[in-house]
Structure 1
Amino acid sequence: MASVRRRGTTVAVLLGLLLTVPACGPVADRQARELRVGYDSLDGTRAVWPPRGSLAGDATATAAVTEAVRAWRSPIDDRVHLPSSGILWSGAVDGAPLALVAADVPGESASWLLQLTGRDGRYEVTRASEYTDPGYLVYADVLPLHLPDGRRYLASGRVERLLGPDGRALMLTDGLTGAVKVPDCRAVPVTATLRATESLPRGRAADRLLDLGVATVDPRYPLVRDDTGSGRRALDGLDTCVLADEQGPFGSIPRRIGDRDAPRSVPESWPMEKVAVRAIGEMTLGGGNDPGDLEQLTWETDAGTMTAVVYRPAGDGTPVVSPADRSNPLQTYVLPVPGQPLVVLTWRGNRDASLSVPPGTPRLVERPGLVVVPMPASRQTFSLATAEKTYYRSAGGR
């Protein structure tokens, strides 16, 4: 795979991937009215998403899935473009009809993963998660499903082996795993071994992902790329439901459409890849003797780089996390420590940078590139003077 920049986000794109979409004639007319089964994507001669599942060749099931997808609308009332979408799997799980559709929603420049359940000859969309980069799902190699018996994964035709959270190989039947034990609110690894193909002549031994947990709510996509394994280390011991909360790092910056917030859409701060952490200092609170660790969490979204701070108390205390802050020369975080809310300010420390805080503000922690102060009762302004420019940030109050 190679990395390219698209709408400010690094995404994995296959070199040499060929999309063969008929442009005219009876086939094109059929595709305009009916979803294709599988997807017309090739890596060399290998089909990435061939038709799979026991109902892949069932015209009645395909028509019913198409009708349900045609009727579905996104949270902002956009519809699926059928000719550029496809049914990636259509079959039955535990006797119940199931279909998984990669849906192109061009009005939002996004891919949606639609999970449909059938009953009495009709299908309905029962789960819908948005990946905020167009076309990603048909380039992906592992896709998540959530069924009553737990998490399952659908693997592309390039996947030779898939390891679950416990490091054991998962059995694939027509590309679909059985039920996988995934916690509600904890990140766990999923690792694919990819076959040698035209775009990957040597294959790939470890294509790493993180599953943020089965409690991840729609329309948030639960899988995050973790190529280096840094995300697994960064999220160790953290509650992903807290991270996803509207006051947590991943859920705190809402998506805006036009001049309004879109609370039913995926937050702009929702992670896509490159989750990492670095230690920035230590801090002792509440008269304790043992200092806790302050860390800076970073990750990539479709809106750019986001950051937050994590305070890990000494011992078995519960970590405290800040809301997200967009990447900025002077990062400003509100850390909601119970009974003692704080403002954490970080910057790239050098001899030419000087931080100013409001007069009389006590500095609980001070070191190059880091200052921690109590949360002001009213809105206060902090400034960072550098050789080129002075940066201003405000925090405090309600």
Structure 2
Amino acid sequence: MAPVRTGGRTATALLTVLLAVTGCGPVADRTSTDLRAGYDSLDGPLAVWPPRGDLAADAAVTAAVSEAVRAWRSPVDDRVHLPSSGILFAGEVDGSPLALVAADVPGEGASWLLQLTGEDGRYRVARASDYTSPGYLVYSDVLPVQTTAGRRYLTSARVERLLGPDGRALSVRDGLTAPVDVPPCRAVPVTATLRATESLPRGRAADRLLDLGTDTSDPRYPLVRDETGSGRRALSGLDTCVLSGERGPFGSIARRVGDRDAPESVPDSWPLAKVAARSLGEVALGGGEPAELEQLTWESPSGTMTAVVYRPAGGGAPVFSPADRANPLQAYRLPVPGQPLVVLSWRASRDSSLSVPPDTPVLVERPGLAVVPEPERPRTFSVAVTDKTHYRSVGGR
């Protein structure tokens, strides 16, 4: 469905239908100064996020969690709007009090997942993830939780079954799974089966997600939608911690607030969905063994992003370019050790032609692809098509 803009974030038209037609949305205004237990979202008669946990009905816990959330601030100093937020879970987990809050932060048009821990009757926000996927956090059905025992997931009432990375059904109690074996820096699949509801009359047999690993740092949300399974294939064998670094594809384009970068916020290049890879073919540099060159694509908070991955022969560590926004002429800096490169990619046709600056050695050239040494100063490359010429300047370390 076509995206629409809502509250500074992209929201799908489906959410509008759910709110307006099925009643699957927040039930109206509250005046309480404390958080609600659960969240007033309905899918027909089904309460999607009812109160969960053995402390959900404890008024003192609700007050203590509300106090901690009221004091919390986002990286850009915005606060939570408590009347439109809710405690999704409150209970003892792994021997300690745990609370999970769906937090509405209207200053950013954002939803946050706050994880709080309790001690001596007081709570503090221990983890905070910005839910960068289109729509509100409570429209998701599987939420990541990190405890001392490892990764767990909190599931909505629409989840009938949840399969872990090994394809086996996870044990779920009061909406919270048992600990799951998720590696720190590898992407693994998590698949939910959704029961039939008013908004999903036939349910959904496989609602696919990728968990990018337990070392995904806040405020980055670690779950990525993977409807076709292309993301699982694209990220196979890749180190997601390197991918997420400030020079990696997922972390390299900082979010901007006003006229400045906001490095503490989720990067603009952070993946939301539709991660995929396509081969650009083999490249052999300096007479060495051929290496595989791939192009990654994904949807981010600010649109389609791309990057290239250089997979050396013999199983060496892959090399990643920073992200590049989707462009008719893609230009990637590829920091191959000892031989930094620029990879140029475009949609080849009978009428397209590449122009490179004079005296620029071209190491690889074929339709839609060129590889050159990274220039020491900015140089301009161009691709001419039938009615337009596209330019990119790269170089200058």
TM above 0.5, yes or no, is yes
**More displaced stretch, 385-394 vs 213-222:** 385-394
Pick aligned residue for 2:31 from 10, 29, 32:
29
CA contact (8 A) 1:158 1:195 kept: yes
Aligned residues: 390
Give the equivalent residue in structure 1 for 2:267. 267
Give the equivalent residue in structure 1 for 2:240. 240
Q: Where in structure 2 are the equivalents of 1:1-398 lying within 5 Å? A: 4-6=3-5, 7=9, 13=15, 15=18, 16-23=22-29, 28-30=30-32, 33-133=33-133, 135-288=135-288, 290-398=289-397
Distance change >3 Å, CA 328–CA 10, structure 1 → 2: farther
Letter in 2 for 1:21: V
SS in 2 for 1:236: coil
Letter in 2 for 1:308: A
Question: What is the rounded CA distance, in whole Å, between the counterparts of 2:186 and 2:120 in structure 1?
Answer: 36
Question: What is the rounded CA distance, in whole Å, between the counterparts of 1:114 and 1:328 in structure 2?
Answer: 36
Distance change >3 Å, CA 282–CA 324, structure 1 → 2: same
CA contact (8 A) 1:96 1:118 kept: yes
Offset of residue 237 of structure 1: 0.9
Question: What is the rounded CA distance, in whole Å, between the counterparts of 2:10 and 2:281 in structure 1?
Answer: 30
CA contact (8 A) 2:26 2:39 kept: no
Offset of residue 9 of structure 1: 7.0
Question: What is the rounded CA distance, in whole Å, between the counterparts of 1:98 and 1:59 in structure 2?
Answer: 15
CA contact (8 A) 1:188 1:212 kept: yes
CA contact (8 A) 2:94 2:148 kept: no
CA contact (8 A) 2:333 2:342 kept: yes
TM-score, scaled to structure 2: 0.95
Distance change >3 Å, CA 142–CA 20, structure 1 → 2: closer
CA contact (8 A) 2:362 2:372 kept: yes
CA contact (8 A) 2:94 2:147 kept: no
SS in 1 for 2:350: coil
SS in 2 for 1:64: helix
Offset of residue 347 of structure 1: 0.5
Offset of residue 3 of structure 1: 6.9
Residues 68-106 of structure 1: per-residue CA shift (max 9 Å, x gap): 000000011100011111111111102211000010101
Residues 360-391 of structure 1: per-residue CA shift (max 9 Å, x gap): 11111111111010111111111111222211
Letter in 2 for 1:109: G
CA contact (8 A) 1:354 1:386 kept: yes
- Which runs of no fewer than 5 residues in structure 1 stay unpaired? none
The sequence identity of aligned pairs, in percent, is: 73
Distance change >3 Å, CA 243–CA 369, structure 1 → 2: same
Offset of residue 313 of structure 1: 1.4
Question: What is the rounded CA distance, in whole Å, between the counterparts of 2:14 and 2:284 in structure 1?
Answer: 41
Letter in 1 for 2:73: R
Question: What is the rounded CA distance, in whole Å, between the counterparts of 2:121 and 2:316 in structure 1?
Answer: 52
Question: What is the rounded CA distance, in whole Å, between the counterparts of 1:10 and 1:336 in structure 2?
Answer: 37
Distance change >3 Å, CA 230–CA 66, structure 1 → 2: same
CA contact (8 A) 1:238 1:319 kept: yes
Distance change >3 Å, CA 334–CA 10, structure 1 → 2: farther
Distance change >3 Å, CA 20–CA 340, structure 1 → 2: closer
Offset of residue 17 of structure 1: 4.4
Letter in 2 for 1:388: D
Question: What is the rounded CA distance, in whole Å, between the counterparts of 2:182 and 2:12 in structure 1?
Answer: 27
Letter in 2 for 1:362: P
CA contact (8 A) 2:12 2:135 kept: no
Question: What is the rounded CA distance, in whole Å, between the counterparts of 1:212 and 1:352 in structure 2?
Answer: 41
Question: What is the rounded CA distance, in whole Å, between the counterparts of 1:137 and 1:193 in structure 2?
Answer: 18
Letter in 2 for 1:82: L
Letter in 1 for 2:325: R
CA contact (8 A) 1:346 1:369 kept: yes
Offset of residue 11 of structure 1: 8.8
CA contact (8 A) 1:244 1:251 kept: yes
**More displaced stretch, 154-163 vs 126-135:** 126-135
- Which runs of no fewer than 5 residues in structure 2 stay unpaired? none
